[in-house]
Structure 1
Amino acid sequence: MSHDVRTPPIVSLGAGGIAGAIEAASTYPFEFAKTRVQLREQKGQPTPKNPFRVVAQVYTNEGLRALYKGCSTLVIGSVGKDGIRFLSFDTIKNYFKDPETGTLTPLRNLGAGMMSGVVASITCVTPTERIKTALIDDARNERRYRSMIHCIRTVVKEHGVIGLYHGFAGTTLKQAGATAFRMGTYNILKDYERKHDIPQSTLTNFANGSVAGIVTTLTTQPFDTIKTRCQSSRGATTVEAFRSVIADYGVRGFWKGTTMRLGRTVFSGGILFTSYEWAAALLNPLVVPKEEPLRG
């Protein structure tokens, strides 16, 4: 994601969508475990804190398919989310760049990421997260939903289209913060490496993405926890979700699922940005004339 060459919008959109699909599908069991932990515990069935134990427990009791309940929704959502996120980030950051150096300050990197996160939340993240969370919650309780489409139809029938936006405030806060720290941290690291002539490679991209994932998780976990409570199968308002977390666990409850989310974001951050750089390198020659340099 070099700043000296402007990436064509179609490349940002396509590469972001490809990267989002790869990242979501490859790390979904960790997302499943994290969501299970954040939802309210069933009486007499405390949820383990170790993500591997959660995955093993679900696999043993419910089978492999259960671990991927809601996965298709997340993959579809990630194609749109990350496509829009990379497109909007690349577009917004061009307006934030220093006209002389072509680079962004750390604060401007974070600002561009925050704005692109809001755009992504409004356009596709909130509805897809709502359906994914409802499917995961429903699978351990009532099992009302037969499929993703049936879940969407049921939610709309019972709550109207607004039902797809339960948890909008928490999701948008999470997306604004997560995209700011994830995209911002990644680009800050890339700028630092360019300045000190550190060669770029798959390993460098993966390491940068992993660091960005860790920073993102630790700073935005409370919003993620509230968002999950709001988007349970029955839904809840942001205030109700906030109060239920306090009632169940106290302030520490807002970081419920941090270990599981870290288990995912360390890998997902690396996979996302490595996949993006790879996809952008493949798509650029199809869009940019040969005499123009490719994104670094």
Structure 2
Amino acid sequence: MAGSGGGFWVSLAAGGIAGVCVDLILFPLDTIKTRLQSPQGFKKAGGFRGIYAGVPSAAIGSFPNAAAFFATYEYMKYALHSDSSQYLAPVTHMVAASFGEVVACLIRVPSEVVKQRAQVSPSSSTFQVLSNTLYQEGIRGLYRGYKSTVLREIPFSLVQFPIWESLKDLWSWKQGHVVDSWQSAVCGAFAGGFAAAVTTPLDVAKTRIMLAKAGSSNAKGNVLSALYEVWKKNGVSGLFAGVIPRMTAISLGGFIFLGTYDKARSLLL
């Protein structure tokens, strides 16, 4: 049981392993997406140069971030589970995923702020970006965009996790036994790609807020005003900047992340 002590540690370890795998494999695509969304434009943000700028921040943050998400997700699923209400399963998955995101973002946001700033200034090292952020804005600077990240991640998880769980259930039912890890990975790719497409505007807003110069209007972290500003300057295409690399990365990410998670979990259990 995920709620038991053993299950909790298994979820923690499996989630961490999955997070590291996906973040490091897909890092170049993430850099391209960030640069496409940055206010100075793709070329000035570095184009295709220094595609691994900011990777130390992702490497350090990905294990605890993914571990925190899955440990919370599995615990909440266990706590909310009721045999009498199978039809409420999607709601359980939505609530569990939302709690998981709120907890994981406490680790993810500082790592993401440093990573994205390093991605759009490849001449600065990750450590320089971190020390500049702390010097200019203090700890609050590392949590710039916490609200916008949570506002992006919760709708994303509300779409992704119920679809992933439903596709797995449907496939299991069709074949008469529980899905294998590779089948779980395929379901994860579909769920992730779809969720990535519909939440791209929120991702654009989050990127603009994290990259905004201290003191500018976007630095205040207002998601609606960031979305409005993008829409005014660049229209609908601006709101969906980077949608292709984002969908590609997250479909691949869903495949690797959720497949690795299920595989690691079954091996550890």
Which TM-score applies when normalising by structure 2?
A: 0.87
Check if 1:85 corresponds to 2:69: yes
CA distance in 1, matches of 2:229, 2:115: 21
User: 1:163 — aligned with what?
Assistant: 141
Give the aligned CA root-mean-square deviation in angstroms: 2.7
User: 1:96 — aligned with what?
Assistant: 80
Bigger Cα displacement from structure 2, 191-200 vs 160-169: 191-200
1:190 Cα deviation from its structure 2 partner? 2.1
Task: Deviation per CA, 1:226-248: give whole Å up to 9, x if none.
Answer: 11111117352333633431232
Check if 1:173 corresponds to 2:172: no
The aligned amino acid for 2:25 is S
1:180 Cα deviation from its structure 2 partner? 2.7
CA distance in 2, matches of 1:221, 1:151: 25
User: 2:264 — aligned with what?
Assistant: 279
Contact 1:35 1:136 in 2 (8 A): yes
CA distance in 2, matches of 1:246, 1:157: 32
User: 1:124 — aligned with what?
Assistant: 107
Contact 2:190 2:251 in 1 (8 A): yes
Contact 1:213 1:269 in 2 (8 A): yes
User: 2:116 — aligned with what?
Assistant: 133
Check if 1:207 corresponds to 2:186: yes
Contact 2:194 2:247 in 1 (8 A): no
The aligned amino acid for 1:116 is G
The aligned amino acid for 1:110 is M
User: 1:22 — aligned with what?
Assistant: 21
Assess, with a 3 A threshold, how the Cα gap between structure 1 residues 38 and 100 changes in structure 2: closer, same or farther.
same
CA distance in 2, matches of 1:279, 1:26: 17
Contact 1:3 1:103 in 2 (8 A): no
SS at the partner of 1:94?
Answer: helix
List gaps (5 residues or longer) in structure 1.
48-53, 285-296
Task: Deviation per CA, 1:192-222: give whole Å up to 9, x if none.
Answer: 3344425522431221110111122022111
Bigger Cα displacement from structure 2, 199-208 vs 213-222: 199-208
CA distance in 1, matches of 2:98, 2:265: 22
> % of aligned pairs identical?
24
The aligned amino acid for 2:62 is S
Contact 1:20 1:75 in 2 (8 A): no
CA distance in 1, matches of 2:86, 2:68: 22
Bigger Cα displacement from structure 2, 202-211 vs 226-235: 226-235
User: 1:245 — aligned with what?
Assistant: 230
Contact 2:3 2:75 in 1 (8 A): no
The aligned amino acid for 1:130 is V
1:5 Cα deviation from its structure 2 partner? 9.7
Task: Deviation per CA, 1:46-71: give whole Å up to 9, x if none.
Answer: 89xxxxxx9xx61xxx3xxx111112
CA distance in 2, matches of 1:202, 1:42: 39
Task: Deviation per CA, 1:87-110: give whole Å up to 9, x if none.
Answer: 110011112212347785222222
List gaps (5 residues or longer) in structure 2.
none
Check if 1:111 corresponds to 2:95: yes
The aligned amino acid for 1:223 is L
Assess, with a 3 A threshold, how the Cα gap between structure 1 residues 153 and 248 changes in structure 2: closer, same or farther.
same
Assess, with a 3 A threshold, how the Cα gap between structure 1 residues 200 and 156 changes in structure 2: closer, same or farther.
same
The aligned amino acid for 1:237 is K
Contact 1:35 1:257 in 2 (8 A): yes
Contact 2:93 2:162 in 1 (8 A): yes
User: 2:35 — aligned with what?
Assistant: 36
